[in-house]
Amino acid sequence: MNIELQCCALFIIFTIFVMFMREKKLDLMNRKLFQRAIYACFACLTFDILSVILINMSVHTGFDGRITSIVCKFYIMLLVLQGYFGYVYASTSLLPIDKTWAKAARITYHIIFIIGEILMLVLPIGYTAEGRIVYSFGPSTSVAYVLSAIYIISTIITTLVYRKQIPGRRFTAMMLWQGIWLIAAAIQFIEPELLLVGFASSFGMVILYIQLENPSEYIDGTTGLFTTHALSAYVHDKYKFGKRFSMFTAKIHYMTSFVDYNMEQAAVMRTAKALVSLGPEPAFRIDDDTFCVLYDNKERMFERAANIKTQKDGVKDLPAKGTYLLIPDSKLMSGPDEFFRFLHTYLERDQEILIADEEMLQTLRDHSRTKELIDEALREDRVEVFYQPFYNVRWARFNVAEALVRIRKTNGEIVMPGEFIPVAEETGQILPLGVRVFEKVCQFLARGEAEKYGLEQIEVNVSAAQFDNDNPADFIMDHLEQYKIDPGLINLEITETAAGENRDIMLKNMESLMKKGVTFSLDDFGTGRSNIDYFVNMPVNNIKFDYTFTKGFFDNDKIKPVLSGMVDILHKMNMNVVAEGIETEDQMLEMTDMGVEYIQGFYYSKPVPEEEFIEFLKKTNTSDHS
């Protein structure tokens, strides 16, 4: 009998089923649907084999044809059920849940399936057997072929339409699965004696299992916990189908700089075992030292979290501590993207216990909005540079200015740097932002108006990120050459904190630029390391006293001799001093009496746009150029 392929296929499906059921797995909708597809495939193959046997018996031995017809109908009905489950498996993960048209599509395909099953049940079916050629035919079989084609083609079209929203591996697996099945069905329709559909469907199950539904891919080999990939799939599934959950996250912090492999493995394994012992809820290893468990309700999460903390507090033989992040309700976040942003942001905090709330989430959303604001400003060229002049005490004129970045919103409102620079430094946007600011400074200098009215140098702030590579001098020199700017017109301001992050690379780049004629200042002096050994070796021309340091001079008598002494020391080192944040005439006179070379602050001018700055220079420096 012509059942060799079906028997092989049945054995394959049985093997996959056993492997699938024995593996530790997550309660995901896709996995439930895949399990249904396996059941349908197994049943379909079983009735396929049984129908071939009974057809031969009916034709050659006189076996009751009514029973054979019923079995043949069950086979083709199961074949259509398998096609329907295939479409549901694909469409459930791809089509939106809450859209009216998607709901209508699901209902329509369900109704088509029910009507088709009824038609196959009531319409007549025939069968034949000539040697190894055994097959069924008739109106009932024709309906089965049409419905199977509808579901297979619909699955292929749905996969193609949403191909940009699914990973490449999933797209390939779905197309291979349905494509092989469609080709096999077409061949069997043309040549009914070639019984390929059953084998093709089992082969498709193999592809899905290996590529998409292999539970072992979700298991961490060291701890036996679920992986980050599994967590992502689980959280996306929960949000997609509107299921609330709570989350407890624990991170190991080692209390020594020396952590050998055995110590780390001991801590990891103890944590994994403790989490597994808490109950049946899925536990995940997010990274080397971070773990989490997801719960269906917050009461159980808080209870289990207290238990794990008690266990951790009882560990005395490992030099490690734990920090814990608890998310009582997943509905706090709008979806998986915001959920994982929140997780990434707050897992790095040193606070022992953090419980997610609206305030923390609002901070995260503000951060995201600011990031989008920076991206839009860069894309739409709404990054602007304002200039604040320095008064040169010795020459009684304004010959230096600081370039200060601003972002202009679409409504014309100006966003101050304190609102977006910290975010830009966290996200890496400080790099394109710094390049854009420097380019605008070069464009401004290339006009020549500022020099015409006495400007001799512009100071531009440099972030740690901009100097955190081997040759950031490239973008600076490229722009100076492009706009034909004398490097001596540029003074780069380095903050103490920026210079301290990677000093060797910083000094190397400073040396490279200084050879071209660029000079440097140490900005925000008084807020960072502030020790003589530190700045003695920095090749800077100017030292800028931070606003808070300068303000302290006027508010605290103890700071006055310190600041005065620092000015004397800096002068002996041939460095100029800039007093920042001067707002009144009395402050200006005291700084002048102390001997600072430059005064910057609202007393003379706030930061202003290019045209206002040019007008300021015209007004204040005209006598020097008449």
CATH number at residue 88: 1.20.1070
Q: Mean pLDDT of all residues in the chain?
A: 86
Torsion of CA 77, 83, 85, 87, to 10 degrees: -150
pLDDT higher than threshold 60 for residue 143? yes
Which CATH number belongs to the domain containing residue 453 in this structure?
3.20.20.450
pLDDT higher than threshold 70 for residue 535? no
337 with 476, same domain? no
Question: Is the CB of residue 442 less than 8 Å from the CB of residue 483?
Answer: yes
pLDDT range class, residue 401, cuts 50, 70, 90: very high
88 with 15, same domain? yes
pTM value is 0.71
Question: Is the CB of residue 78 less than 8 Å from the CB of residue 44?
Answer: yes
461 with 389, same domain? yes
Percent of the chain with pLDDT over 90: 41
158 with 286, same domain? no
Helices (H) and strands (E) in the chain, counts: 23, 16
Alpha-carbon gap, residue 559 to 555, rounded angstroms: 8
All residues at 6 or more sequence positions from 334 whose CB lies less than 8 Å from its CB, including other chains: none
Q: Specify the number of domains making up the chain.
A: 3
Torsion of CA 617, 622, 623, 624, to 10 degrees: 70
Question: Is the CB of residue 521 less than 8 Å from the CB of residue 499?
Answer: no
The verdict on residue 322 lying in a domain is yes
The verdict on residue 365 lying in a domain is no
206 with 229, same domain? no
The verdict on residue 230 lying in a domain is yes
392 with 536, same domain? yes
The verdict on residue 367 lying in a domain is no
Which CATH number belongs to the domain containing residue 274 in this structure?
3.30.70.270
The winner for highest mean pLDDT among 312-321, 356-365, 490-499 is: 356-365
Of 356, 389, 407, which residue sits at a domain end?
A: 356
557 with 408, same domain? yes
512 with 462, same domain? yes
The verdict on residue 361 lying in a domain is no
Which range among 125-139, 438-452, 585-599 shows the weakest confidence by mean pLDDT? 125-139
Question: Is the CB of residue 73 less than 8 Å from the CB of residue 47?
Answer: no
157 with 226, same domain? no
pLDDT for res 365: 92
All residues at 6 or more sequence positions from 513 whose CB lies less than 8 Å from its CB, including other chains: 473, 476, 477, 487, 492, 520
pLDDT for res 502: 65
Average pLDDT over residues 574-602: 93
pLDDT higher than threshold 60 for residue 1? no
Average pLDDT over residues 156-171: 83
All residues at 6 or more sequence positions from 4 whose CB lies less than 8 Å from its CB, including other chains: none
Strand partners, 219: 226
109 with 190, same domain? yes
pLDDT for res 469: 58
> Which has the higher per-residue pLDDT, 163 or 359?
359
The verdict on residue 363 lying in a domain is no
For residue 413, give the DSSP letter. Answer: P
CA 505 to each of CA 5, 59, 475, 492, 531: distance values in angstroms, whole numbers, following the listed order: 67, 88, 16, 15, 20
167 with 247, same domain? no
341 with 487, same domain? no
The verdict on residue 327 lying in a domain is yes
pLDDT range class, residue 443, cuts 50, 70, 90: very high
The verdict on residue 366 lying in a domain is no
Alpha-carbon gap, residue 343 to 327, rounded angstroms: 9
Of 328, 356, 384, which residue sits at a domain end?
A: 356
Domain that holds residue 252: 219-356
pLDDT higher than threshold 70 for residue 63? yes
Of 216, 237, 256, which residue sits at a domain end?
A: 216
Segments in 321-429 forming alpha helices (H):
336-346, 358-379, 417-427
> Which has the higher per-residue pLDDT, 281 or 177?
281
